[in-house]
Amino acid sequence: MARHSPVTGRYVTIEVDGLEYKVFYLHNGQGTPLLCQHTAGAHNHQWRGLLEDEEITKDYNVIAYDLARHGKSDPPLNVEWWKSEYKLTADHYVNFIVALADALELDDPIFMGSSFGGNVALQLALRRPDRFRAVIPVEAADYAPGFFLDWWHHPHANAAQVCASGVWDLMAPQSPEMDRWLTWHYYTQGSEAFKGDLYFYSVDHDLRADLDRIDARRCPVVMMTGTYDYLTPPEATENTARQIKGGIYIEMTDIGHFPMSENYPLFRVYLKEALRIIRERTGG
């Protein structure tokens, strides 16, 4: 008897700003759509624990996609993408997520992302509060400078290992060794996209002057950050949440920048609380 996972994968073709993408996503569950974005330079396997969480998938349709150029989602199929440097912008990133949600006909979804996925969650709350039931920005802040580095692409170093070991201590030393090395493994696979992702994360994403225009009473914003995250430290997230009308901040103890991937059993404790708050605020 084959030991199949309940998680299944599919491709969907979408058009974003004139670019055609064939997007790969994993999904499992039923109920409220919970759309999940991986971190920069990674892919949807970071959500492997959530995708197989029977308690959560009983009430939530968990969808974890690979952003274009990551995992099994190719670069755009209708342009010669190799002739220009990849630099992800906030505009394109937001349009991609909305186009994907539309293509999948997601009704009032919750969006959750970590790191550069957390930062785009804030962008969605600002730009498209009409399209999402709520957002959960994980390891996010209004501004996150300092990681758009040439080292990720240096031709004299092993880019896969520089990216993977360069993010190693974004994780907490208490997180299980197997899960930290799996996260390391994912990071060896995405070095070409990593730097371009970080253009959004550290350069194009800057909401310092816009937080007062986010209304979490309309689209709840529940921010969560781990105490071992040095890139977006807890005080940066807390300071961001405090400036959002109705924003909520949850501090996650003894976990780092990749909580869903480095220590899912601990992360799910905080995630369940975030989902409870959203149910309470949205009535469903």
C-alpha span between 284 and 276 (Å, rounded) = 9
> Min. distance of Cβ 182 from other proteins in angstroms?
14
**Residue from 5, 8, 78, 161 binding other proteins (CB under 8 A):** 161
Query: Per CB under 8 A, does 249 bind other proteins?
Result: no
Query: 203: which DSSP letter?
Result: I
C-alpha span between 153 and 150 (Å, rounded) = 6
**Residue from 102, 108, 169, 212 binding other proteins (CB under 8 A):** 169
Query: Per CB under 8 A, does 26 bind other proteins?
Result: no
**Residue from 22, 72, 87, 174 binding other proteins (CB under 8 A):** 174
Query: Per CB under 8 A, does 235 bind other proteins?
Result: no
Reading the block at residue 212, the tokens are: 């007062």
> Min. distance of Cβ 238 from other proteins in angstroms?
14
Reading the block at residue 273, the tokens are: 């609380």
φ/ψ (deg, to 5) at 30:
-150, 155
Burial class (CB in 10 A: 0-12, 13-18, 19+), 32: buried
In one-letter notation, the amino acid at residue 274 is A
Query: Per CB under 8 A, does 228 bind other proteins?
Result: yes
C-alpha span between 264 and 269 (Å, rounded) = 9
Q: How many residues bind other proteins (CB under 8 A)?
A: 22
Q: Which residues bind other proteins (CB under 8 A)?
A: 146, 151, 154, 156-158, 161-162, 164-166, 168-170, 172-174, 227-228, 230-231, 233
